[in-house]
Structure 1
Amino acid sequence: MSNINQSRRRLFNRRKTNAIRPPWSRDDIEFTDVCSRCDKCIQACETNIIIIGDGGFPEIDFKDDECTFCKKCAEVCPEAIFNDTAQAAWQITATVNDSCLANQGIWCQSCKDACDPRAISFKPAIGQAPHPNIDLDACTGCGACVAPCPNNAIVITSSTTAL
């Protein structure tokens, strides 16, 4: 296939993904247009949450750790991450799905214990395990609540659109 046909295919095949890009990244489609997949951000990440994702582009995976907002990824990225780290790192927040142990009557607050900004609280209910409540204004999207959840009930999603 010629390079012209490949370029056309890439131009018309651009899709927004649900992948979470490194903090301070450009929007998804713009990110994949300029990211050279050099892996510098992956190597710089102190908690190893930046992984090689679809198409070789960096993505965030909170299954083992959280983002500490150390800014090392932004410092080493030559093209796809904004250098203005004074702005919000990203527009993502935590949500709790139905597999949460509290929905099964089991007392668990592992997500609350891991949340440094204290964005997760538990509302007591008579005769039930307390249910989690996430303060979306306080949630930084750091992902600290994801790994300790024993039931994989915490999901980090875009706070600008429901995914």
Structure 2
Amino acid sequence: MQKRDNNNTRRQFFRSLGGQGPIRRPPWTGDDFTERCVRCSACIDACPEQVLFHGGGGYPEIRFEHEGCSLCRACVDACEEPVFDTRRTAFPWRARIEAHCLALADIHCQSCQDACEWRAIVFSPQLGRPPRPRLNLDACTGCGACQTQCPNNAITMTSEETAHAE
């Protein structure tokens, strides 16, 4: 087991050198994902949003390139292994609105609010300027819907610990 942990740490180190972010796994999975997953692709095939992909070593990864995760549980229902635990939080990350957000530059844009089914991003009216986004981290699921719709790529997903610290 120690060897696998070292391989994952090493893989993440080299990903970061190449400018790639952390490996993101399907919802409701934990640190033991690579120990439990048999790489059968059932969750990937079942995903209606097609946000699950074959990643390193054939393990499923989630990428928010065109869609966010609707948390529909199709991946959970399709998996025959004890990989998913719906009692835990779906994702360990939350949205973060970066400084280059169009609305923060006084350009009218509310794409992220329109995409957020959970109402985690709302725009408060501002006197004499376009509304500005306000992020409710407690309502954010980390589903990535806002990230895919942002025209300026100003939304990133960050770990829950980092998000609450800011």
TM-score interval, normalised by the smaller of the two chains: 0.7 to 0.9
Alignment of 1:93 with 2:130, yes or no, is: no
CA distance 1:81–1:132, change in 2 (3 Å):
same
Alignment of 1:21 with 2:25, yes or no, is: yes
CA distance in 1, matches of 2:4, 2:29: 21
Q: How does 1:121-160 map to 2 (within 5 A)?
A: 121-160=122-161
CA distance in 2, matches of 1:118, 1:12: 39
Q: Is the 8 A contact 2:120 2:137 kept in 1?
A: yes
Question: Greater helix percent: which structure?
Answer: 2
CA distance in 2, matches of 1:154, 1:60: 16
1:59 aligned partner, one-letter code: E
CA distance in 2, matches of 1:71, 1:13: 29
Q: Is the 8 A contact 1:103 1:131 kept in 2?
A: yes
Q: TM-score, normalised by structure 2?
A: 0.79
Q: Tell me the CA shift for residue 139 of structure 1.
A: 0.8
Segments of structure 1 that go 5 or more residues without pairing to the other structure are 1-6
Could you give the per-residue CA deviations for residues 93-133 of structure 1, whole angstroms, max 9, x where no partner exists? 11111221123221100101111121101233444433211
CA distance 1:104–1:161, change in 2 (3 Å):
closer
2:25 aligned partner, one-letter code: R
- Rg larger in 1 or in 2? 1
CA distance in 2, matches of 1:8, 1:93: 29
CA distance in 1, matches of 2:111, 2:2: 48
CA distance in 1, matches of 2:74, 2:3: 34
Could you give the per-residue CA deviations for residues 1-41 of structure 1, whole angstroms, max 9, x where no partner exists? xxxxxx985464341842221111122xx212232222111
1:114 aligned partner, one-letter code: A
SS in 1 for 2:99: coil
CA distance 1:14–1:59, change in 2 (3 Å):
closer
Q: Is the 8 A contact 2:36 2:83 kept in 1?
A: no
SS in 2 for 1:160: helix
1:13 aligned partner, one-letter code: N
Match of 2:108 in 1: 107
CA distance 1:32–1:113, change in 2 (3 Å):
same
Count of residue pairs brought into register by the alignment = 153
Segments of structure 2 that go 5 or more residues without pairing to the other structure are 13-21
